[in-house]
Amino acid sequence: MKKIEEIMKHTARTIALGATGAALLTGLIACNGTNVNTNGDTQQASIKKAPEGMFANPLFANGADPWLEYYDGNYYLTTTTWTSQLVMRKSPTLDGLSTALPVNVWSDSDLTRCCNFWAFEFHRLNGPNGWRWYLMYTSGQHGTLDHQHLSVLESVGDDPMGPYTYKGEMMPNTWNIDGSYLEHNGQLYLLWSEWVGDEQQNFISKMTTPWSIEGPRALLTRPEAEWEKSGRKVNEGPEILKKDGRTFLIYSASYCDTPDYKLAMKELTGDDPMNSEHWTKYDKPVFERGNGVFAPGHNGFFKSPDGTEDWIVYHGNSKEEHGCGATRSVRAQKFTWNTDGTPNFGEPIPEGQFLPLPSGENGPLVTALQGARIQLRNGESCLLAEGKELKQGSCQAEASLWVMDNTADNHYRFGNVASNLFLTADEGLSQSAWVNTASQRWALNAGEGNFVAFTNKYTGDALMQNNWQILPVGKVAISSIQSGRVLQACDKNSANVNQGGWQGRACQAWQFNPASEGHVQIKTGNQCLTVENKSIVPGTNVIAGECESTSSQWLYQLDKEGRATFTNRESKQRLDLANCGLADGTNFAQAPALDTICQAFQVRYLP
């Protein structure tokens, strides 16, 4: 115990520890085992504005264990939070992630897995329910890091932002972290890290589903070389990189509280990932400290938007004395391939040095954006995109459906669902492929009465008029940005509306219907979201009930960053998540407008 106390003093961080064995206590101090230092130094991105088409590292501060995917026109990014919430950001540009709205897409209050959220990864896999996003993360119990273990979520559709359903824990009774997937010859494998004696090692096991394993486990890597033992004997963060039929395992080596945390590599040179003899280890680090960047590691990989470039995302520190806390910042850079077919990651790019953004960000891109389908309505007519022509017409036409996508710069873009083209104001209004210009970005402004207006960033002109209503179309989930849980009216014994994890139940699906003067009815089944007893008193319950009164009508409003609020027409009170709760069953009531995250929501598309 004395040895551990000395280590804790050395790292200058406080961890609330319960009773523990020596091996697990040693495990606390690995990369993911140090409490986040919210009061410590944090790296800040260069305040000098990057030239057009360029960016500089770090993307933003306090971003350990990053995972990044580019999918259907957007980058999606997660990083370790240390809270009970799983945060995701999205942006059509890499540098836009630094200003993108952080959205909690999942939270948990189960005491066995509620806390210390680490190292999220989300992979699009063809699972039992078809193609879905599987989000794997590490979490454990309050007050201790002894019980950290992996869990998996499954998306309801193809949107990385969810909603998500909790699927299971692979190894809930042992300490295991940093989960990832390997697909090889039609078989899915789980990769993870755990402690064995005084070593943290990487393991592999076959999977029957993306959330369950079977059969024996096998050792993948253990710290053997001296450069893998800086500060402590650690291998963790196993990640797969494939090219031209070859499979590489990139993993983090050495203790993350030292500046010598780094990346190592093995290659699958046989055909059985479970056989240690079929992996060949490279005898030197493949990515390590340099150019004023320390402890680069816990990485992921992604492709540029046009698929021509390979990129690495990782965390690093800006000072040698920084360790495993909030000082770690998100960084990304392009890498190349050696003539022998192995990856060449080079050295960490110095902070503040401008780099070209990933190839293809400026399109031309024709894509189906992920997100809720909406109509821009003006009375009984809607904005239509037919050919290159924009006009107002029938709201029954497929051409009236859009995805309103925030661009992380206080603007929106509109992708047409029928054409996969974008609303553009250049020489008049048209729809065209995404080319990342100001003419395709629209500022959301107050319009006439309860309606909204849109102003083009390039021309400064309004979109036709100043009295649009934004109306989500079809069945949707209404997700709390605070908790990641959805509104539901599922209590058989009452009409109460509360929150819960997505379960695919009809009582969790809602539909918006236009009402008068810019308001909407929000229905589940044949009932509407309304205020109990038509009360105007703050704190009154919100229920599923009658649809006839103005207490059953709401003003649905979006802000410039993508948050939605719901204001009751009769009471003028906001829909409010009680006590900012995370737990299933937390109640919704009405409250004065406070502009807090507990009154902020996002509408999710349900396929």
Catalytic sites, residue numbers: 65, 236
Contacts of 226 (CB under 8 A, 6+ apart): none
Which of 254, 266, 355 is closest to 298 using CA atoms?
254
Q: DSSP code of 50? A: P
**What number of residues does the chain have?**
607
By the 8 A CB rule, do 374 and 473 touch?
yes
Q: Is 45 exposed, middle or buried (0-12, 13-18, 19+ CB in 10 A)?
A: buried
The 3-class secondary structure across 446-485, one letter per residue, is: ECCCCCEEEEECCCCCECCCCCEEEEECCCEEEEECCCCC
197, containing H or E segment: none
Q: Is 309 exposed, middle or buried (0-12, 13-18, 19+ CB in 10 A)?
A: middle
CB count in 10 Å sphere of residue 341: 12
Q: 3-class SS at 332?
A: strand
Instruction: For residue 274, report the phi and psi dihedrals to the nearest 5 degrees.
Output: -80, -10
Contacts of 113 (CB under 8 A, 6+ apart): 139, 140, 141, 149, 151, 169, 172
End-to-end CA distance of the chain: 53
Tell me the C-alpha distance between 493 and 500, whole Å: 16
Tell me the C-alpha distance between 5 and 510, whole Å: 53
Which of 360, 319, 428 is closest to 43 using CA atoms?
319
Q: State the residue for tokens 């009216």.
A: 489
Cis amide leading into 163 (omega within 30): yes
By the 8 A CB rule, do 87 and 105 touch?
yes
Positions of E strands within 41-174: 54-56, 67-71, 74-78, 85-91, 103-107, 115-127, 130-140, 149-155, 164-169
Q: 3-class SS at 230?
A: coil
Q: 3-class SS at 27?
A: helix
Strand partners of residue 396 = none
Tell me the C-alpha distance between 604 and 307, whole Å: 28
